[in-house]
Chain A
């Protein structure tokens, strides 16, 4: 009786205006090669971010698989990255207006 555990990225979804990447990663337990359990973990990758000065910075995908990186690089155009960074910047500025330091 051999129990094995493996992780599969079962979904790589490009979603929304800013082409966020939704990842579904399944942990699969098998007994003698037959799946007996599967659990799912989700996370999202955003196309860009901003720093403390609200300047656009890259979202780190260096630890992602080549497959995921390829999808990210295919859909995350400079225009998309800039648009999302600007969205975050405006969002924070609006919040700051309602939350003066």
Chain B
């Protein structure tokens, strides 16, 4: 530990030599001592042997600036620039260019920066900011500032592979967003390209640096080289399981409408998907309304309003379609027994309220028919009874009936709320209701026609 006043007195040569050696040793040891040198100079070094700290005298020669602290036994730098910016002061602080911070003894965190002030996000005072970084460059729409870059594994060249930067996203220099940059080229040295931009408005753009719509989220797929849009996936392979949901809500409810994807539940290996659309009525719960099945069929539980734009007036809603069979049977209006048929299975197609019937009733025996008249039972749907005109005729063609061709001009008629049809014969002066004797054991009837149901 040697300190000196660095002034050589006018004295004998041996004393001069001694004072020169003392001054040189003081320079060599940075004026090491437990106390600060009594004689100071601007920009002078002093190593505090007691505190293991290295100080530098300021240029005004009125204060010591702490530069670093060395461990008393570990021989490493334990703090650096401890007083770079004094607490509670404001100003430009200290600019550090090209500083390499490396502490191989710290493996979890290479650098920890702590600011005990609560963040205010006041960009003028910077209160609470742990890091504030700046780069060079000028203002301008799209210009980047303050690049925070991340390295890639070309350890010998130490190039950056990705970066985050502050980006001006408007002609107004005060409107600034955040850009994300990656390197996708095969060259080891390349310019990073912007891939995602969070604009000053909160819009998030992926794949493009310009917003083309008023939407908050924009994805632009590349013009070539593949690439799609958004992938929502589930890390399972069940055959009947929800995969993902896009929900729409507001301050009242979070699930006003939803689009849901799921596996189709059709018994396969989970490789078929269905798309579900849900809406929520006032006071109700979100309910599935439309499903597009994996095979392409679309189910619309509430029906489809046709020809009325976006209105859903009841008279324009097609809410039912069904195909199937029904079994026709000849009966007396009083009783019936012993009827036999070579064919009695008929077809129906229901479209909305309309039921279309077709088929052939081929009798092998008309059996015993009680009552004054005959009827055909087995209608598939309840006929509408709201129309005061009950007669909804079904066209028929009759073969092998009593009376030959004169008796073949018959129709079946649907009456409201009846599960059967009466049988009439057209004749001059009006239709006449048919009796058991008008059908034969071998009567064949082809029918085709439609009637309305109540719903």
Chain A: CB-nearest residue to B322: A40
**Which of these binds chain A: B62-70, B207-215, B328-336?**
B328-336
Q: Inside 8 A of B371's CB, which chain A residues have their CB? A: 51-52
Q: Inside 8 A of B422's CB, which chain A residues have their CB? A: 95
Question: A44 vs B377: C-alpha distance in the bound complex, in angstroms?
Answer: 9
**Is the CB–CB distance between B324 and A42 below 8 Å?**
yes
Q: Hey, what's the 0/1 contact readout for A14-46 against B, CB within 8 Å counting as 1?
A: 011110101010000000011100011111111
Question: A91 vs B325: C-alpha distance in the bound complex, in angstroms?
Answer: 28
Is B373 in the interface zone, CB < 8 Å from A?
yes
Is A79 in the interface zone, CB < 8 Å from B?
no
Q: Hey, what's the 0/1 contact readout for B416-455 against A, CB within 8 Å counting as 1?
A: 0111001000000010110000000000000000000011
Question: Size range of the interface on A?
Answer: 20 to 34
Is A99 in the interface zone, CB < 8 Å from B?
yes
Determine which of A22, A41, A99 lies in contact with B381 in the assembled complex, contact meaning CB atoms within 8 Å.
A22
Question: Size range of the interface on B?
Answer: 35 or more
Question: Given contacts A15-B455, A16-B454, A51-B334, is CB(A39)–CB(B419) below 8 Å?
Answer: no
Is A53 in the interface zone, CB < 8 Å from B?
yes
Is B385 in the interface zone, CB < 8 Å from A?
yes
Q: Inside 8 A of B382's CB, which chain A residues have their CB? A: 15-16, 20, 22, 44
Q: Hey, what's the 0/1 contact readout for B33-67 against A, CB within 8 Å counting as 1?
A: 00000000000000000000000000000000000
Q: Inside 8 A of B417's CB, which chain A residues have their CB? A: 16-18, 20, 84, 87
**Is the CB–CB distance between A43 and B373 below 8 Å?**
no
Q: How far is the CB of A7 from chain B (nearest CB, A)?
A: 13
Question: Given contacts A50-B334, A52-B334, A95-B373, is CB(A42)–CB(B267) below 8 Å?
Answer: no
Question: Given contacts A92-B373, A95-B433, A99-B432, is CB(A45)–CB(B334) below 8 Å?
Answer: no
Is B379 in the interface zone, CB < 8 Å from A?
yes
Question: A87 vs B348: C-alpha distance in the bound complex, in angstroms?
Answer: 26
Question: Given contacts A40-B322, A41-B325, is CB(A50)–CB(B333) below 8 Å?
Answer: yes
Is B399 in the interface zone, CB < 8 Å from A?
no
Determine which of A15, A41, A44, A98 lies in contact with B454 in the assembled complex, contact meaning CB atoms within 8 Å.
A15
Is B342 in the interface zone, CB < 8 Å from A?
no
**Is the CB–CB distance between B372 and A42 below 8 Å?**
no
Is B326 in the interface zone, CB < 8 Å from A?
yes
Determine which of A35, A88, A92 lies in contact with B372 in the assembled complex, contact meaning CB atoms within 8 Å.
A92
Task: Determine the main DSSP class of B at the interface with A.
Answer: loop
Q: Inside 8 A of A87's CB, which chain B residues have their CB? A: 417
Is B378 in the interface zone, CB < 8 Å from A?
yes
Q: Inside 8 A of A16's CB, which chain B residues have their CB? A: 382, 385, 417, 454
Task: Determine the main DSSP class of A at the interface with B.
Answer: mixed
Is A96 in the interface zone, CB < 8 Å from B?
yes
Chain A: CB-nearest residue to B433: A99
Question: A33 vs B333: C-alpha distance in the bound complex, in angstroms?
Answer: 45
Q: Inside 8 A of A84's CB, which chain B residues have their CB? A: 417
**Is the CB–CB distance between B326 and A43 below 8 Å?**
yes
Most buried by A among B327, B371, B418: B418
Q: Inside 8 A of B327's CB, which chain A residues have their CB? A: 41, 43
Is A63 in the interface zone, CB < 8 Å from B?
no
Is A66 in the interface zone, CB < 8 Å from B?
no
Question: A45 vs B325: C-alpha distance in the bound complex, in angstroms?
Answer: 16
Is B370 in the interface zone, CB < 8 Å from A?
yes
Question: A98 vs B413: C-alpha distance in the bound complex, in angstroms?
Answer: 15
**Is the CB–CB distance between B334 and A44 below 8 Å?**
no
B residues 302-348 near A (Cβ < 8 Å) are 322-327, 332-335, 348
Question: Given contacts A20-B419, A22-B382, A52-B335, is CB(A41)–CB(B372) below 8 Å?
Answer: no
Question: Given contacts A40-B322, A44-B382, is CB(A52)–CB(B454) below 8 Å?
Answer: no
Is B380 in the interface zone, CB < 8 Å from A?
yes
Question: A39 vs B268: C-alpha distance in the bound complex, in angstroms?
Answer: 21
Q: List 29 A-B contacts (CB under 8 A).
A: A16-B417, A16-B454, A17-B385, A20-B382, A20-B417, A22-B381, A22-B382, A34-B266, A34-B267, A34-B268, A35-B267, A40-B324, A40-B325, A41-B326, A41-B327, A42-B325, A42-B348, A43-B378, A43-B380, A45-B419, A46-B419, A50-B333, A50-B334, A51-B370, A52-B333, A52-B372, A84-B417, A95-B422, A96-B433
Interface residues of A (CB under 8 A from B): 15-18, 20, 22, 24, 33-35, 39-46, 50-53, 84, 87-88, 91-92, 95-96, 98-99, 101
Interface residues of B (CB under 8 A from A): 266-268, 322-327, 332-335, 348, 370-373, 378-382, 385, 390, 415, 417-419, 422, 430, 432-433, 454-455
- 8 tightest Cβ-Cβ pairs between the two chains A and B: A52-B334, A42-B380, A40-B324, A44-B419, A34-B267, A99-B433, A15-B382, A52-B371
